[in-house]
Amino acid sequence: MDWAILGCGYVGGRLARALLKEGHRVRVCARNVARLDPLKQAGAEVHAIDAHKLRAFGPALFGLRSPVVVYSIPPVPGMPPGEAIRRATEASLGVGAARFIYLSSTAVYGETEDGATVDEESSISIGDAQAGPRIAEESAVDGARLAGLNTIILRLSAIYGPGRGVRERLKKGDYQLVDGGMHFFSRVHVDDLVGILRAAVDRAPAGALYCVADDRPSTQKEYADWLTARLGTKPPKEVASLEAGKPRRAVRNRKVSNARLKRELAYTFRHPSFVEGEAAIEAEQGAAVPAPVPAPAPAPPEPRPLPDQRLLPRIREIEKSWTEVILHELRQLIVHLDADRFAEGSRLLERLAQLAGLLARQLESFEISPEPMRLEAIAAEVWTSYERARGRHPQPALLSLARALSEFDAAMQRWRAPQPGYFPSLKVEG
Ligand SMILES: NC(=O)c1ccc[n+]([C@@H]2O[C@H](COP(=O)([O-])OP(=O)(O)OC[C@H]3O[C@@H](n4cnc5c(N)ncnc54)[C@H](OP(=O)(O)O)[C@@H]3O)[C@@H](O)[C@H]2O)c1
DSSP 270-292: SSSSHHHHHHHHHHHHHHHSPPP
Taking the CA of residue 72 as centre, how many other CA atoms within 13 Å lie in the half-sphere pointing to its CB?
Answer: 24
How much is the pLDDT for 287?
46
pTM value > 0.75: no
Top mutation candidate among 6, 103, 254 for ligand 1, by most atoms within 8 Å of CB:
103
Of 86, 85, 58, nearest in space to 72 by CA: 85
How much is the pLDDT for 425?
72
Ligand 1 atom at minimal distance to the Cα of residue 13: 16
Q: How far apart are CA 178 and CA 59, in angstroms?
A: 44
The pLDDT confidence band at residue 411, using thresholds 50, 70 and 90, is confident
How much is the pLDDT for 308?
61
124 Cα: distance to centroid of ligand 1 (angstroms)? 22
Q: What are phi and psi of 417, to 5 degrees?
A: -25, 145
Q: What is the Cα Rg of the chain in Å?
A: 25
75 Cα: distance to centroid of ligand 1 (angstroms)? 9
Question: What fold is seen in the domain 2-265?
Answer: Rossmann fold (3.40.50)
Ligand 1 atom at minimal distance to the Cα of residue 49: 33
Q: Give the model confidence (pLDDT) of 28-75 as tens digits.
A: 999 999 999 999 999 999 999 999 998 999 999 999 999 999 999 999
9 Cα: distance to centroid of ligand 1 (angstroms)? 6
15 Cα: distance to centroid of ligand 1 (angstroms)? 13
Q: How far apart are CA 370 and CA 271, in angstroms?
A: 26
Top mutation candidate among 6, 14, 27, 31 for ligand 1, by most atoms within 8 Å of CB:
31
Contact 24, 43 (CB under 8 A): no
Ligand 1 atom at minimal distance to the Cα of residue 12: 16
> Closest residue (by CA) to atom 37 of ligand 1?
30
The pLDDT confidence band at residue 194, using thresholds 50, 70 and 90, is very high
Share above pLDDT 90 across residues of the chain, in percent, rounded to a whole number: 66
Rounded average pLDDT over 79-99: 96
Edge-to-edge strand list for the sheet holding 2-6: 45-48, 25-30, 2-6, 68-71, 99-105, 151-156, 208-212
Strand extents, DSSP E, 240-299? 254-256
Q: Which helix (H) or strand (E) holds 104?
A: strand 99-105
Of 3, 165, 167, 147, nearest in space to 72 by CA: 3
Total length of the chain: 430
Q: How far apart are CA 359 and CA 319, in angstroms?
A: 7
138 Cα: distance to centroid of ligand 1 (angstroms)? 16
The pLDDT confidence band at residue 423, using thresholds 50, 70 and 90, is confident
Q: How far apart are CA 386 and CA 370, in angstroms?
A: 25
Ligand 1 atom at minimal distance to the Cα of residue 187: 3
6 Cα: distance to centroid of ligand 1 (angstroms)? 9
289 Cβ contact partners less than 8 Å away, ≥ 6 residues apart: none
How much is the pLDDT for 243?
85
19 Cβ contact partners less than 8 Å away, ≥ 6 residues apart: 3, 26
3 state SS of 35: helix
Of 187, 188, 183, 158, nearest in space to 239 by CA: 183
Contact 105, 146 (CB under 8 A): no
Burial class (CB in 10 A: 0-12, 13-18, 19+), 427: exposed
Top mutation candidate among 159, 160, 164, 192 for ligand 1, by most atoms within 8 Å of CB:
159
User: Taking the CB of residue 271, how many other CB atoms lie within 10 A of it?
Assistant: 24
Using CA atoms, how far residue 211 sits from 95, 160, 329, in Å, is: 28, 16, 26
Of 58, 13, 59, nearest in space to 32 by CA: 13
30 Cα: distance to centroid of ligand 1 (angstroms)? 9
Contact residues of ligand 1, CB 6 A cut-off: 7-12, 30-32, 35, 49-52, 72-74, 76, 103, 105, 156, 158-159
More confident residue, 280 or 313: 280
Top mutation candidate among 10, 166, 186 for ligand 1, by most atoms within 8 Å of CB:
10
Strand extents, DSSP E, 168-301? 176-178, 184-185, 187-189, 208-212, 218-219, 237-239, 254-256
Using CA atoms, how far residue 151 sits from 43, 146, 314, in Å, is: 27, 10, 43
> Closest residue (by CA) to atom 40 of ligand 1?
32
Q: Give the model confidence (pLDDT) of 308-343 as tens digits.
A: 666 777 777 788 888 888 988 999 999 999 999 999
> Closest residue (by CA) to atom 20 of ligand 1?
9
Contact 27, 3 (CB under 8 A): yes
pLDDT at 169 over 90: yes
Rounded average pLDDT over 291-297: 42
Region of poorest pLDDT, from 9-23, 183-197, 280-294:
280-294
Single-letter amino acid, residue 301: P
pLDDT at 164 over 50: yes
88 Cβ contact partners less than 8 Å away, ≥ 6 residues apart: 6, 51, 57, 69, 71, 73, 100
64 Cα: distance to centroid of ligand 1 (angstroms)? 22
Top mutation candidate among 85, 155, 156, 166 for ligand 1, by most atoms within 8 Å of CB:
156
